[in-house]
Each structure stands twice: as structure tokens, then as C-alpha cells.
Amino acid sequence: MSQTSYRTAEIDGLKIFYREAGRADATTLLLLHGFPSAGHMFRDLIPLLADHFHLVAPDLPGFGQSDMPERTKFGYTFDNIAGAIDRFTEVIGLGRFAIYVFDYGAPTGFRLAMRHPERITVIISQNGNAYAEGLSDGWNPIRTYWQDPSETNRAALRAFLTPEATFWQYTHGVADPSLVSPDGRSLDDHYLVRPGAQEVQLDLFLDYASNVGLYPEFQAYFRRHTPPFLAVWGKNDPFFLPAGAEAFKRDIPGAEVRFFDTGHFALETHCAEIAAAIRDFLDRTLRL
């Protein structure tokens, strides 16, 4: 087992915290987390892969241990987050690398792939969507905010930022909730109550519409470059439906899709199975 190091990189005045493990000369896998989490969501996955791969898991700007600049100084959009992570990969010296994208990590990682298709070796999507049919009705309150960004509709979304909502996200669709450690969701709740954090998250809820607007461009990238692609999907996810995972096959005929009987945070219950699927896929794909 390789040790995990905890580092900080400065990106144009912005500090990005990240976890790193494995040999620097091994195949690199950039792990991009989702809402409302941070790089700690990969705490169990990293040790299972670090003997064979180089793992890098940054906290996105505004999340986890990374800087959360004031909203007047940093616009919380997915374009800006992707730009910061793009610079992060350059600053820490990543050349070509695979990406593991989850939830918010998907529109971040797909933007990187469109900007630098020559740098992306493999894409692994764990409940990271790029198709309209992958969005469930659970998005309806956020869709309402996209259509009418009023203070009333913004305030209604604060219900997504409560400990009860975090608990629900972690346990919905899980056969045995006792298998879900409280550690991850408790950290997420801690970060969500920092001064200004909820306004940041509400800004990102609004800007998520930009990701849906980019779905045709993401799909065009998939068709044009056909990157080796593996979907590892919690099939009971209340936000991103199995149809969204299957849809990748339309644009990447060789895409592989594997479903697990769990919810949104699939690593909480099926980390060993997902790690095995990743090892198998990367070993087969990168030998070609």
C-alpha cells in the first residue's frame, strides 16, 4: 500500500489542496469529486489503486481544503472551476492522464477533455452525466431556478444544503445504510456551514444549466475522439439515472458500462468492486 501525501498548489493566487499517492512515473488518474463533497470521497479508493497507478485528487475551488475566495473575487461557475483545475494540472506537472469524474467532476473533467483531447488517456465516469435522459425529476427544483433565478427560488434550494439532505444523498438507494460511514457526510456538512459556503453552492446550482447547455458539445467530443470510456454507476442514484450511463454508448461505441446496486455515492458501499473494475479496464485499455 502506498502512502497518501496531502499537498497544496498555488494556482494564480488560489490555493488548491490535493491528495496524491503512487509513483509519479506510473499512469496518472486525476480524481474529480462532486457536490457537496471534496477529495476525501476518494479516501478508500486511493489505497486500492496506488500500488499500480499515480492518483491525484484535488479539492475543487470552494470545496474542502481548497481556497474559497469571496464571490466578488472568483465567479463560481463551472467554466472557472475547470479553468482552475486545468491550471492545477499544469502547475503540478501532469502531462497525459486518465480522469475519474463524479457528479460536479464530470462537467469539470469533460471541459478539460474538450480543451486538451491529446492529454486525456481514459475517462471513467461514476455517476457523472452528459445526457438529458440522465437527469431525473430530482432536478426539477433546480430547473425552476434556472428558468426564474429569483430570490424565492434560490431560497428554496437551501433545503439541499442541510445535514438531512446530505444524509439522504449518501443513503438513498443503498440496501444497507449501516454500511455508509458517517465520516464523509459529516465532513461535507462541516464545509457547507462555513461562512459564505452556501451562497457559493447556490451560485453553482444556477450555473449547472451551463453544463446541460454543453451536453451537445461534450457528446461531439466523445464522437470525435472516442476516448476509452468506462461508466461505473450506482443504479439507484436519485439524480443521475442509468439511462445517462447507457447513453455514452451512442457516442463511444466501445464504452463499457457497469452498474452497482447502490446510490449516488457509490464508493461508500462498493469501493472494492469499483476499484477492481478500474484496474481491469485500465490494464486492458492501456496495454492496447
In the chain the domains, ranked by start, together with CATH numbers, are: 4-287 (3.40.50.1820)
> Phi, psi at residue 14, to the nearest 5°?
-110, 125
The full length of the chain comes to 288
The cell numbers describing 133, all together, are: 435522459
pLDDT in tens, 43-65: 999 999 999 999 999 999 999 99
How far is Cα 147 from Cα 9, in angstroms, rounded to an integer?
Answer: 37
Residue with cell 464571490: 71
Q: Which amino acid is at 78?
A: F
Within 8 A by CB and 6+ apart from 255, the residues are 229, 230, 231, 248, 249
> Is the model's pLDDT at 288 over the cut of 90?
no
Q: Is 124 helix (H, G, I), strand (E, B) or coil?
A: strand
In this predicted structure, what is the pLDDT of residue 287?
A: 67
In this predicted structure, what is the pLDDT of residue 4?
A: 96
For 15-35, letters b (16+ CB in 10 Å) and e give: ebbbbbbbeeeebbbbbbbbb
> ∠40-42-47 over CA atoms, to 5°?
115
pLDDT in tens, 102-158: 999 999 999 999 999 999 999 999 999 999 999 999 999 999 999 999 999 999 999
- Pick from 134, 16, 32: nearest CA to 74: 16
How far is Cα 242 from Cα 263, in angstroms, rounded to an integer?
Answer: 11
Q: Is the pTM of this model over 0.95?
A: yes
Residues with catalytic function: 264
> Is the model's pLDDT at 2 over the cut of 80?
no
Within 8 A by CB and 6+ apart from 209, the residues are 146
Confidence at 240, pLDDT banded by 50, 70, 90: very high
In this predicted structure, what is the pLDDT of residue 129?
A: 98
